[in-house]
Structure 1
Amino acid sequence: MKIKLSVLFLCLAMSIFSQEKVDITFVEAPLQDVLKQMEASFGVKFSFNPEIIKEKSFSFTKKECELVYLINEIERKTPLIFNQINERYYYITKNSNFNPNEYNLLNEVLVTNHIKSGINKKRNGTITVHPKDLGVLPGLTEPDVLESLKIIPGVQSPDETAAGVYIRGGTPNQNLILWDGIKMYYSGHFFGMISAFNPYVTEEITLSKSGTSARYGNRVSGVIDIKSNNEIPKKTTGNFGLNMTHADAYVNIPVSKKASFLLSMRRSYANIIKTPTFNNISTRVFQTFDVNQEKNIFGNGIKFNRENNFNFADYTAKLNFSLTEEEQLSLSFLYTKNKLFNSFEIPDYKDFYTDDLSIKNAGFGIQWTKKVSERLTHHIKGYFSSFKLNYTGKYNYIDNFLIFFSSKNNLINDVGVSYNFNYELNDKASIFAGYDFTSTESEYELKYLYDIQNQNVFNSLEENNGNNNTSSLFGEFIYDNDNWNINLGTRLNYFSKIDKYVIEPRLYLEKKITQHLRAKASFEQKHQTLVQIIEFQTASLGFDLENQLWTQVNNDNVPLQKSLQVSSGILFNKDNWSIDIEPYYKKVSGMTSLTSGYNDQSNDFSNGEGKIYGVDVLVHKKFNNYRTWINYSYTKNRFKFLDLENTFFPANHDITNYFSWSQAYKLNNYEFSLGWILRTGNPYTEINEFVTDENGQNPIIYLDWENINALRLPRYSRFDASVTYSFNLSDKWKSKIGFSLLNIFDRKNILNRTYNTVPFINSQNNLKYQLKEVDKVSLGITPNFVFRVSF
């Protein structure tokens, strides 16, 4: 306890630092003069090649302007990138893909370094993350595309996974995840513990929690838009590295002055060596899976054999073309895979289990952008995405006396094209509009066989397939000046599967109250036609890791999902203080108990709705090379289903209070980071009754469905820390080593509680069953180490 208090007191070291502000006025001033005045006014130094600023001018006026704001304006209006070395020194490079009119950005950057280096808040309400600039986060030795979002208020992971991104009460399958415009249907490795996206080829991640742009559709929760590197380097660049779960490498090769080819790969190496980190994650992932298999051991001292082979990999490729200064073209490819084979044998019983699982997600995308005039820009994109899940499980008992066989297959083929344009009416207003068409085919198949000596054979087969074509028109009016920022849009969708038109209004606005205070508000409505259902059939064999299947909505038992969200809040920025407070209310309809897992393992559908309200709070302070940020979210996430008492109850992922406190400090070539997470425990449903027949056989567990999720697990608490050191191997080769610890104090946090029946031999040598409480526990203290080389 004393150690914990010492850590907390250390975190309280925070002082006030006032960044200098000056009045700025430039009217068609040469960039050379602009940079000289900036050096004199802010006490900084710039290093650059004079050729990149030759014959370039800059205009800008602002009273009490900070350096970071002025740098953002120059980067927005000119093809320059400012790279910060330390508090005083910068080197300036050319952005070869500069396009000031791409999309509808205008003066969108409001706050830079919103939370930490590499995370920025934009004037349209979105938050952007740049993994290359992110620095070290608590418990991570290197960036993780999805894990990095968890330090943003309103983004949580109740199941402690990277891919388990819950945005303001929405579930992961309700998020729209795009990689270079390609829709992704599986975003994790190692059952979600690691993101499926290579952070070293990721240029930018854009997160939308509310007031989403009208360009995004067909999901009812957040949007995670991931863009890969589009740089055309003058010489070959790249890096490679190794941590305690996987190895990776990427290279960016200039094919010509106007084209480049980027290639990357990541792969686990547990088939060669199993590190402590990999073993800890395996224990966390497979703990309930192992319990389900071992429950059939009837007594102590019974030997069993287990073999668990798991691997994952992802590959990306991209061609970038700068056809002219006004025209760009890119072609992107992504392939991810996860493979598991498990065998479990009890020789004394001649009992043998096998589980074979394969998950693949592949996609191809093409994007073209052209600026045809100073005011008008066109953008066209197309994509194809494919998702495949295949599972087979088999259980043989006493030389095939009893046989269970189960399989499931889930397939999605998704193709889409889109056109949009951005037209600037003047320097304050623009119009953004376009058209989307997507065609999504999905199917799943569930097979089940139960056979006792070829006499009592039971077979079942469940199949579903469908195709939905979605046509969407969308448009936005954007107005942005120093006092107002308004994004007003709408999206009109037609869904062929259910023959229905829906309109989705969107709004985000900000109003300047004082020099340092702004008010904001948003409204959005969304719909979703592709959802995930929970299936319990394969859980009978013990495999409960991937029990969700994608399926299309229909006019019968899987209704169209609809969400409505309103929010308001304030933004305060002064003297390196940032405070962001945003209450919100969200309503989701079209839910079913089978899509949410509340049907007590039956196949009955029950319609329902969800209501979520809460408030997100962020407090961020920078003092020289030290940053600290506090993230707090209060959430009430309630569901109601007609056949389950028809009253609202806490959702499975309802986290009432979520608090995190993180620190980052840079000292020369060292970076340190420390974080603490404290939150409410997950809800669970208590046992109502456990019964067996008169012979103690055929055990049945009845949960208390009249009081769903009425109980709470103990609160969750975790400390994490990281440190990295960067150094040069030569003039061209740079390197980094790092070390991290997750859950420093090895706290046993319970993530989930279920119940199981366990056989045993009583004193009369009779087989009986007893009730067992099964807790899924979080990761214990978990080290990780990284070594990287870049060139």
Structure 2
Amino acid sequence: MKSIFFSLLVLIHLPSFSQKTELPDYDNIPLETVLKDIEQFYNIKFSFNPEIVKNELITLSNRNSLEKLLENLENQTSIFFEKINDRYYAIRKKNKEGFITICGYVLDTKRRKAIEEVSIINKSQSKTISTNHKGYFQFHLIKPNDTIEIRFLGYKNKRFPAKELENKDCLRIFLTEDDFQLGEVVITEYVTSGISRQGANSAININPSKLGILPRLVEPDILQTLQFLPGVQSPTETASGLHIRGGTPDHNLVLWDGIKMYSSGHFFDLLSIFNPYITENIKLFRSSTEAKYGNRISGVVDIESKNEIPKDLGFGIGINMTNIDAYFEAPIDDGFGVVISARRAFTDLIETPTFRSYSDRAFQSIRFFVDNQNFDQETVENENVFYFTDLTIKAILDLSENSEQNNKLTISTIFTNNNLDYTLNIKNIQGFNEPFDENQKDNLEFVNQGANIKWEKFWNKNFSHSANIYFSNYDFNYKGLREVRATRDGFLFFENNIEETNTIRDAGASIHTNWIINAKNNFLFGYDFSTNAVTYNADYSADNFTFDESDGNITHAVFGEYKLNLNEKFKLSAGIRGNYFSVLDKTYWEPRLNLEFNLSENIITKVAAERRNQVISQVSNYLPNDFNLDNQIWLLADSEFVSMLSSDQISGGFTINKNDWYIDIEGYFKSTEGLTSFANGFNGVLELETGESKAFGVDLLVKKRIRDYRTWIGYSYTNQDFKFENVNNGDYFPGNFDVRHYLSWIHSYQWNNFEFSLGWTIRNGRPYTPASGITEDNGFLFIDYEETNSERLNTYHRLDFSASYKFKLSKNDTWRSKIGFSLFNLYDKENTLNRTYNIRFDDNNDFLLQEVNTISAGITPNLSFRIDF
């Protein structure tokens, strides 16, 4: 493996070894000779008529970059360079009869600072250039009457006749912030680079391509990144197990390109299924949700993959200690492009330290039985074959007839799959009339696939729409075998076959519109239609037990939302959403209100209130089998085990942003009705119970940046209580994931091409229900439980580390590479995540009560290497 890796690096570097290490100095050298040297050195190509470079002599001695080099050549000659793409440049004469040269500097009106990457468009010739870091631009071969438009997101556009910009001193052009952006204040580094927030009540946005390094992550992980934000926790140490302000993971709406995802984790949820390298933006709502989102009562995670037609061919490939991934993007034709990504685990072929740690974490409850029987190593045989795959394909078609339009059609598809084959054989177990063998086989597969067609069009600068048609299919299939045989004569003492399937067929369509009435008023409205068919089938052969649940629901939803902005001092967003659920034959209305006050330039206060409903949710697998991996079943409301969930939430707080300090504090109160005991899996509760919960919490973020060093503290206080009429005498008791205090302290530092990050996390242990003994009644054994969730596990804490190094594989920066290393649980702390109880038999065939603890993953290393072009 090492030799292959070394050979790969050598092959990658061979082109650069054959090149010169630096360009020579030039003193009155013909331009054509210099251009040939530049082509070889930077691996680029120039296209030009040899006649236009005749008699041009060059003197160069100070060269910093290709951009500076070409700029220097332009200053010494009568030519200019027109960049076609990263590899090809056209060379033209600056002067031509009937044409002029224009130039200028683009600056912000308020701050008087240069604006980089501003689009300078010659609308008459359909050509575009961008300003550099000084805000400077220069356009050659322009006709005096050509129309020049200057555009930059968040600013008002400006137009000029080209002749007004013909000035040797290069005019300064000032852009004013666009009022149509409704005065949103953008916090560009909410915790680290790549994480931003618009205003105080708006969503948190994450751009994985710009994301700074985070502890424990060897590569960006979309769902694990969210856990670094206050109010978002994962008490189970999983990626997709997001508990947002008192909600459980199934209470979150997760969308990928408009497709509803019912499974978002790989490797039993330890990794997220979404490829970060083709993801453009992740939008997270912890509260104050926009009215267009419905049918979930907790957080919203809206993931959008790359949405622009690629300008050039690009690809990347990477490998870490669990999987290999690749992406490819290309312009196929004028106005049409594709983006493709794929990922595949190699854990079924190679067993790495990372895979072993993940396996120990996932299968420990099965192995607990083995470990506590003191078997010889020769008596236990087990085989674990596990792998996952995901694939996405996106086609982007630009339907715009001119540069002023934004008319786009996109088709997105996603496929994710997890597959497990687990076998456990225990031979010659003593303690009964004769020795016996115990065999266990588990086969588990769950698939989530979907597609979405989206049409977006801006009819003018004030009105736009977005229309979607989607489907999402979820399939969960499990087969298990438990058998016990006498080792001498092969007599079958016990055999049990278990089969479970859970499927969801979700399809729908929507139309959303946005009407900007004027600079202060904005109105959004729309309609959503969806249909759900949910089935659950179970066959438990030991007791001849079968279970079949099948139901369907059609949802019609309308929404409207009004936004008001008064001089950037006061903002209001008031919306309402109405949902008709056919399974309940009832309409539910959801009012939503957000207020924001700018007390000063650096202090913003916020208040929000909302009501939300949910008609589909998960319950714990209640079959009495030995498959101890997390096994959640989706069911529709109005079934025997699930009720319609309804939640009200109010929140308020303030933010301070000054002198590289950022402080964000927000308190909330949330009440939920329609909870069921099956959905929450309380120990000792055998009958179906319906109840309610209330949660009060405070989320705090304090961040400071000192040059290339960032540090932030995230703290969450959560008090969540449940109430069920026949549980705990009808009194309130702590919820299953009532983590009162959760604190993380993160550090990150960048030094040249190195990045380092260290993070420490400490929190309260989860509540659990203690057991006091075993009761035997008519041949049946029952565990005696004390008050529900009356005890807590020990305090949880761990330290994580990550480091990365970026380097170039080519002179012109087209080939880039990155090496990453991470350590999860640096000091190998054994944290208890959950506690349950089992009844086991000793060597004398007497039953006893055993405590089963789910332990966190130990120290887990990971290493990654990737190349991007």
Deviations 1:726-773 (A, max 9, x none): 001113211000111111111111111112233221xxxx32222222
Pairwise CA distance, 1:536: 2.4
Deviations 1:513-539 (A, max 9, x none): 1121111010010000011111221x5
Alpha-carbon contact 1:593-1:599 (below 8 Å) kept: no
RMSD: 2.6
Segments of structure 1 that go 5 or more residues without pairing to the other structure are 1-30, 59-72, 81-99, 451-457
Give the letter aligned to residue 726 of structure 1.
K
Other-structure match for 1:4: none
Alpha-carbon contact 2:118-2:152 (below 8 Å) kept: no
* TM value normalised by structure 1: 0.85
Q: Does 2:313 match 1:313?
A: no
Other-structure match for 1:646: 730
Overall identity of the aligned pairs, in %: 39
- Secondary structure of the residue that 1:350 maps to in structure 2? strand
Deviations 1:250-295 (A, max 9, x none): 0011112311111111111012211101110110111012225666
Give the letter aligned to residue 651 of structure 2.
S
Deviations 1:543-589 (A, max 9, x none): 12232111111176532110000001011111111111100000000
Q: Does 2:633 match 1:549?
A: yes
Q: Does 2:699 match 1:616?
A: yes
Q: Does 2:639 match 1:559?
A: no
Q: Does 2:854 match 1:767?
A: no
Deviations 1:363-411 (A, max 9, x none): 0001111111221101101110000000011111114331111111000
Relative to structure 1, the CA distance from residue 366 to residue 55 in structure 2 (aligned partners, 3 Å threshold; closer, same or farther) is closer
Give the letter aligned to residue 587 of structure 1.
S
Other-structure match for 2:553: 468
Q: Does 2:617 match 1:531?
A: yes
Alpha-carbon contact 1:536-1:547 (below 8 Å) kept: no
Give the letter aligned to residue 248 of structure 1.
D
Which one of the candidate residues 161, 166, 172 is aligned to 2:243?
166
- Secondary structure of the residue that 1:751 maps to in structure 2? strand
Pairwise CA distance, 1:780: 1.0
Other-structure match for 2:822: 740
Alpha-carbon contact 1:448-1:461 (below 8 Å) kept: yes
- Secondary structure of the residue that 2:447 maps to in structure 1? strand
Give the letter aligned to residue 162 of structure 1.
A
Deviations 1:675-719 (A, max 9, x none): 11011111111113224589xx96532211xx2111111111111
Q: How does 1:664-683 map to 2 (within 5 A)?
A: 664-683=748-767
Q: Which deviates more from structure 2 when the two are superposed, residues 251-260 or residues 398-407?
A: 398-407
Relative to structure 1, the CA distance from residue 421 to residue 744 in structure 2 (aligned partners, 3 Å threshold; closer, same or farther) is same
Relative to structure 1, the CA distance from residue 32 to residue 750 in structure 2 (aligned partners, 3 Å threshold; closer, same or farther) is farther
Q: Does 2:571 match 1:485?
A: yes
Q: Which deviates more from structure 2 when the two are superposed, residues 611-620 or residues 543-552?
A: 543-552
Other-structure match for 1:506: 592
Segments of structure 2 that go 5 or more residues without pairing to the other structure are 1-101, 132-150, 159-177, 429-435
Q: Does 2:231 match 1:151?
A: no
Other-structure match for 2:106: 35
Other-structure match for 1:359: 446
Give the letter aligned to residue 775 of structure 1.
N
Other-structure match for 2:74: none
Other-structure match for 1:326: 406
Which one of the candidate residues 273, 282, 285 is aligned to 1:205?
282
Q: Does 2:749 match 1:749?
A: no
Other-structure match for 1:242: 319
- Secondary structure of the residue that 2:604 maps to in structure 1? strand
Aligned length: 707
Which one of the candidate residues 712, 736, 746 is aligned to 1:662?
746
Which one of the candidate residues 423, 444, 467 is aligned to 1:380?
467
Give the letter aligned to residue 505 of structure 1.
P
Give the letter aligned to residue 180 of structure 1.
D
Pairwise CA distance, 1:326: 1.8
Q: Does 2:416 match 1:336?
A: yes
Alpha-carbon contact 2:521-2:563 (below 8 Å) kept: yes
Relative to structure 1, the CA distance from residue 557 to residue 393 in structure 2 (aligned partners, 3 Å threshold; closer, same or farther) is closer
Alpha-carbon contact 2:622-2:678 (below 8 Å) kept: no
Q: How does 1:242-321 map to 2 (within 5 A)?
A: 242-292=319-369, 303-321=379-397
Measure the CA separation in 1 of the matches of 2:830 and 2:669: 33
Alpha-carbon contact 1:201-1:250 (below 8 Å) kept: yes
Measure the CA separation in 2 of the matches of 1:736 and 1:614: 40
Give the letter aligned to residue 642 of structure 1.
E
Other-structure match for 2:272: 195
Alpha-carbon contact 1:240-1:789 (below 8 Å) kept: yes
Other-structure match for 2:511: 419
Measure the CA separation in 2 of the matches of 1:107 and 1:558: 43
* TM value normalised by structure 2: 0.78
Pairwise CA distance, 1:130: 0.7
Measure the CA separation in 2 of the matches of 1:253 and 1:204: 20
Other-structure match for 1:370: 457
Which one of the candidate residues 802, 806, 813 is aligned to 1:722?
802
Measure the CA separation in 2 of the matches of 1:115 and 1:275: 32
Deviations 1:212-231 (A, max 9, x none): 00000000111000000112
Pairwise CA distance, 1:45: 8.9
- Secondary structure of the residue that 1:173 maps to in structure 2? helix
Give the letter aligned to residue 238 of structure 2.
T
- Secondary structure of the residue that 1:75 maps to in structure 2? coil
Measure the CA separation in 2 of the matches of 1:536 and 1:293: 23
Measure the CA separation in 1 of the matches of 2:586 and 2:509: 20
Give the letter aligned to residue 386 of structure 1.
N
Measure the CA separation in 2 of the matches of 1:677 and 1:52: 54
Which one of the candidate residues 406, 409, 430 is aligned to 2:498?
406
Relative to structure 1, the CA distance from residue 513 to residue 421 in structure 2 (aligned partners, 3 Å threshold; closer, same or farther) is same
Relative to structure 1, the CA distance from residue 668 to residue 438 in structure 2 (aligned partners, 3 Å threshold; closer, same or farther) is same
Other-structure match for 1:83: none
Pairwise CA distance, 1:486: 1.3
Alpha-carbon contact 1:232-1:257 (below 8 Å) kept: no
Q: Does 2:305 match 1:228?
A: yes
- Secondary structure of the residue that 1:401 maps to in structure 2? strand
Give the letter aligned to residue 226 of structure 2.
L
Relative to structure 1, the CA distance from residue 109 to residue 314 in structure 2 (aligned partners, 3 Å threshold; closer, same or farther) is farther
Deviations 1:633-676 (A, max 9, x none): 00001111112121111111111000001111111111111111
Alpha-carbon contact 2:119-2:129 (below 8 Å) kept: no
